[in-house]
Structure 1
Amino acid sequence: MSLMRTKWHAALLLGSLLIGASPALAEAVFHRGNSGEPQTLDSAHVSVDIEAFVLKDLFEGLTIYSADGKIVPGAAESWTVSEDGTVYTFKLRENAKWSDGSPVTAEDFVFSAQRVEDPKTAAEYANILYPIKNAEKVNKGEVPVDQLGVKAVDAKTVEYTLERPTPYFPQLMAHMTALPVNKANVEKFGKDYVKPGNMVSNGAFKLEAHIPNDSLTVAKNENYWDAANVKLDKVIFYPSEDDAANIRRFEAKELDTVYHFSSSEIKRLREQYKDQVRVTPALSTYYYSFDTRQEPYSDVRVRQALSMAIDREFLANEIYNGAQLPVYNLVPEGMEGYGKGPVPEWASMSQIDREDKALELMKEAGYGEGGKPLNIEIRYNTNTDHERVATAVADMWKNTFGAKVSLQNSDVSAHYAYLTEGGKFNVARAGWSADYGDPENFLSLMISTNKSFNYGHYNNPEYDALLKQSYDETDPAKRMELMKKAEEMINRDQPIASLMNYANLWLVSDRIKGWEDNAVNEHLSKYLSVAE
């Protein structure tokens, strides 16, 4: 009897172990390709989408984007706007908590906004919150931080007073720069608050581990207000910039998603993986910036000539296989109230006629054949398509002007860090995706006071004055006309050469459920689940 009882207990134990190991009880893990190592996890210093993807899983703003790309309540359950459009009052969720269990308070949002605008923080994206009363003055050190137009009405009510009506303000509150940080956490650890074991966050996930250039793991935050509806246990971000390797890992089922891959692979991948290949038009512009601080790029004729000699149709159709559209202006089409923006006069010329005109301008400026030699370095962030674009543009400039062109690449973090910190260059690849659906978001890149994102240091007082006038204009139609006049100046001065409107390229495995394509390229992991 004793032996039989032992066998019965052993069988029972084995059965329970097998049940415990069943797929139904296995961890739900999303293996997310992220095409680059985040430069930082500090919301005051992030600037690119691969950082935002991580940050927005960890932290939640007052507003967030829904799965289909619409603004919806986040840490705030609701908000109201004053009749004159200058005061926004957000009511925080009563059950909004930080990952350590402490309540999310209005004071956390006051502290976070003041921290971003404090000149001591040197936040690269501080200007995006300039619509807030006194934000620009605070950021420039003209008034103390406590004069910023953000105040805690009570523990769960935060009020923002604006400089002027800003219709897109709820979109700004979903931006990565507006994400809250835990005051006590930051004061305790300083800049080290971003490290695993230190970080306290209020989003659907919390930071578990980070091995630079290998992986970053976030785990479900049990204290998140909507934790009951979060279906993933973990999300592991993989920062590889190697397109071919990422595709191989997707095909081997090691990655559930891949962000950015060589467009030369679109046809093959579509044939094999069909609707797992996602190509979504975006409010984004791919452009080359000229460093206007130094010759010959300080000469508008040289900038115009170099821009005119670029065959955008070739880049879009031959390199990107139609996954991007050739463009000649900065603001992408589709902004509400703006329509299709102005383009340079030469945009309607044939490519041959453009090249002839470009040669005339270059000779007039004293460069090229019979003049000073043109030695150009193109900087770009490591990516197969960016390399192919740079190589093609180099050939165009060599063939048209006899220029000697060299290429220099670096990883995405180093590339943008160099540009935002004011490093000198000749020509640099850049891209901009809409933070909010308003042309101002693109045109503000060229304001002379935008020290972080005006990479080429374009300085035109007339342009700055037009943008300032648009900020003060309350009539929507007149405001749009002012911005179109400003874009006409960009077209004339060519501080940048706009090349293409982006499409977002994703590979999304069939095992990922809840994914929705959207123009703002927002894909919070809280909306997703995995199916084995």
Structure 2
Amino acid sequence: MQRRKLTRIVGLITVALVATVTLVACGQQTATKSKNNFRVGTVDALATLNSSRYSDISSGEAIQNAIEGLYRIDAQGKPTLAGAKSLSVSNDQRVYTFKLRENKWSNGDPVTAANYVYAWRKLADPTTGSPNAQNIDPIQNGQEVRLGKKPLNELGVKALDKHTLQVTLANPVTYFKELLTTAPYAPQDEAYVKKQGKDYGTSSRHAIYNGPFKVTGWTGTNDKWTFVKNNQYWDAKAIKIDKISMMTIKSESTAANLYQSGKLDFIDLDNEYVKQYKGRSGYHVRKIPAIGYLNFNTKRPATANVHIRRALATGFNKTQLTKDVLQDGSTPLDGIVPANFVTNAAGKDFRAYSGRLTPYDPSYARKEFKEGLKELGQKNLTLEFLSADTPEAKAVAEFMQSSYQKTLPDLKISVREVPLKQRLNFGHNYQFDIIYGIWSPDYQDPYQFITDGGAYHLNTDYKNPTFLKDVAEANSTYATNPTKRWEVLKDAEHEIVKNDAFTAPVFQGAYAYMQRPNVKGLVIDPNGTALYFRDVYMK
């Protein structure tokens, strides 16, 4: 799977013969060296530069490179102080007091503690409708505020003075520093944002930056954009690269040819190209905790039926999908939390601890589908499968259509493939029966997969009282009791995945890519979700 590709992993089923022939010769041609310009091919176009509204990887990556929060990810994949220069923590591990660096926004405005208060309240505000609102839950009153049960001013974040930010947690959180590296916790310049109104973040011209780079050349709809050095940045002297040129390329053969001909310095690899590039200079592969998933529209009668959802969650052959279609090292996944992601003190992996919840089971799927049809008073169903229009997403959608047809003969699947931005909008607006995507976490804890995992409308539509009690206790009663906390998280995963099939895991991904040997200092997020350009230089 690919780092940014929440809409793709690998998936070209066929490859043009000419492309394959060209790739066999790869490495035999001399790369065109760019002059301090790192050229990156990506499959997903930008959707927004608004940290309160993004829900895709390319947007999150852009925000994290251009808008600096309290922490950032360092070369070792660990959180390190960034927008904050110091931190003190109370004895009960609940009150964090940050001293901010002297820094400016790209328009000259100072970066202040009030910028964080404004942005975090906006994230929590129910009227914002942020896809990442649940990320505010660790903050005191975070969940109550985002659910509209408490006012915004009761969120546990205060500006003690211009450069002092105090954050109070609901309970101690071991992964809080990792959480603060993520895009939803980025600050926003309130005066600028309000002046831009609804246009804020819709193009590079309607955004403002306080990080090492500024975004230029993005109109809101085009497929190219550039990161350029931000001279207002507090540590601008440490930035060695002048420019990072991003190009959206949905055809893997095109991306591969551009890399081979020396016109790109970095590309993700799809399955056929892994075979061609494996073992060559610049080839890299890693296992990452990203998941392919299905969501179901519980506002529509058919997919509101739990038996139909259970049939859809278990009625496709995951092994065949990963082995014959993806072919990139991805593996079948039978729970929403991936394997080798987090272990307890005894070294037990959470996936093994929670078990296989939705294995491929044709007999069970047919039984559940028959029960669902009976409750709906129908003899057959036609459902729409919504995916992005990337090669991988198309391949997965077509495979799912075929697999369901074999397992559930009374089900007809129509496939709808749209650009990522539309897929995100359609998901947000309930314009789907079944929707497919890929999702990666922001921090290492099973809680994020179980309470998010890419699931659309989980926070508003999933009302299972046992699940809600479990996740509440994981964040409160058992916050400092690892054994009990895992027990309730396991129970919560069983409720949402096995019992209710509100979301359905498909696979866990791997990430293969090509990087020019002369590119140094590139940091890839441990979860495979973003590239960090701060330390990049061209040798």
TM-score w.r.t. length of structure 1: 0.86
1:457 is displaced (CA, Å) by 4.1
1:484 is displaced (CA, Å) by 0.6
Alignment of 1:476-491 (within 5 A): 476-489=482-495, 490-491=497-498
How many angstroms apart in 1 are the aligned matches of 2:326 and 2:89? 43
Of 232, 236, 239, 1:227 maps to: 236
Alignment of 1:17-416 (within 5 A): 27-93=35-101, 95-194=102-201, 195-197=203-205, 199-211=207-219, 212-259=221-268, 261-270=269-278, 274-333=280-339, 334-337=341-344, 339-341=349-351, 342-344=354-356, 347=359, 354-366=361-373, 372-402=379-409, 403-416=411-424
Per-residue CA deviation, residues 368-410 of structure 1 (Å, 9 max, x unaligned), is 9x97113122111112122112211211111122132211011
Given that 1:118 and 1:145 are in contact with CA atoms closer than 8 Å, whether structure 2 keeps it comes out as yes
Per-residue CA deviation, residues 470-515 of structure 1 (Å, 9 max, x unaligned), is 2212312211111011112222322222111122333322232123
Alignment of 1:513-524 (within 5 A): 513-521=520-528, 522-524=530-532
Code of the aligned partner of 1:525: F
1:178 is displaced (CA, Å) by 0.7
How many angstroms apart in 2 are the aligned matches of 1:493 and 1:36? 31
User: SS in structure 2 opposite 1:115?
Assistant: helix
CA distance 1:67–1:191, shift in 2 (3 Å): farther
CA distance 1:313–1:235, shift in 2 (3 Å): same
User: SS in structure 2 opposite 1:429?
Assistant: strand
How many angstroms apart in 2 are the aligned matches of 1:203 and 1:508? 24
CA distance 1:340–1:138, shift in 2 (3 Å): closer
Which ranges of structure 2 fall in alignment gaps of 5 or more residues?
Answer: 1-32
Code of the aligned partner of 2:318: R
Code of the aligned partner of 2:491: K
Given that 1:379 and 1:427 are in contact with CA atoms closer than 8 Å, whether structure 2 keeps it comes out as yes
How many angstroms apart in 2 are the aligned matches of 1:266 and 1:299? 40
Which ranges of structure 1 fall in alignment gaps of 5 or more residues?
Answer: 1-24
CA distance 1:289–1:345, shift in 2 (3 Å): closer
User: SS in structure 2 opposite 1:296?
Assistant: helix
How many angstroms apart in 2 are the aligned matches of 1:141 and 1:162? 18
Higher relative contact order (CA 8 A, sep 6+): 2
How many angstroms apart in 1 are the aligned matches of 2:148 and 2:460? 24
Superposed structure 1 runs of 4+ greater than 6 Å apart: none
How many angstroms apart in 1 are the aligned matches of 2:182 and 2:318? 31
1:528 and 2:536 are equivalent in the alignment: yes
CA distance 1:336–1:191, shift in 2 (3 Å): farther
CA RMSD of aligned residues (A): 2.6
Per-residue CA deviation, residues 186-244 of structure 1 (Å, 9 max, x unaligned), is 23333444444553311001233224323112210112122122111111222233333
Rg larger in structure: 1
Q: Which residue of 1 aligns with 2:458?
A: 454
Per-residue CA deviation, residues 270-299 of structure 1 (Å, 9 max, x unaligned), is 25xx24233221121111112233333233
How many angstroms apart in 1 are the aligned matches of 2:440 and 2:482? 23
Q: Which residue of 1 aligns with 2:17?
A: none
Given that 1:68 and 1:517 are in contact with CA atoms closer than 8 Å, whether structure 2 keeps it comes out as no
Code of the aligned partner of 2:284: R
Given that 2:285 and 2:513 are in contact with CA atoms closer than 8 Å, whether structure 1 keeps it comes out as yes
1:520 is displaced (CA, Å) by 1.8
Moved more, 208-217 or 227-236: 208-217
1:362 is displaced (CA, Å) by 2.6
CA distance 1:275–1:287, shift in 2 (3 Å): farther
Moved more, 452-461 or 326-335: 452-461
Percent identity reads: 26
Q: Which residue of 1 aligns with 2:508?
A: 501
Code of the aligned partner of 2:242: D
Q: Which residue of 1 aligns with 2:474?
A: 470
CA distance 1:265–1:460, shift in 2 (3 Å): same
How many angstroms apart in 1 are the aligned matches of 2:89 and 2:392? 44
How many angstroms apart in 1 are the aligned matches of 2:449 and 2:83? 27
Per-residue CA deviation, residues 433-455 of structure 1 (Å, 9 max, x unaligned), is 11111111011128xxx995539
1:267 is displaced (CA, Å) by 0.3
Given that 1:264 and 1:319 are in contact with CA atoms closer than 8 Å, whether structure 2 keeps it comes out as no
User: SS in structure 2 opposite 1:200?
Assistant: coil
User: SS in structure 2 opposite 1:527?
Assistant: coil
Moved more, 183-192 or 58-67: 183-192
Given that 1:264 and 1:320 are in contact with CA atoms closer than 8 Å, whether structure 2 keeps it comes out as no
User: SS in structure 2 opposite 1:441?
Assistant: helix
CA distance 1:296–1:141, shift in 2 (3 Å): closer
User: SS in structure 2 opposite 1:69?
Assistant: coil
Alignment of 1:426-441 (within 5 A): 426-441=433-448
Moved more, 70-79 or 243-252: 243-252
CA distance 1:471–1:269, shift in 2 (3 Å): same
User: SS in structure 2 opposite 1:210?
Assistant: coil
Given that 2:310 and 2:501 are in contact with CA atoms closer than 8 Å, whether structure 1 keeps it comes out as yes
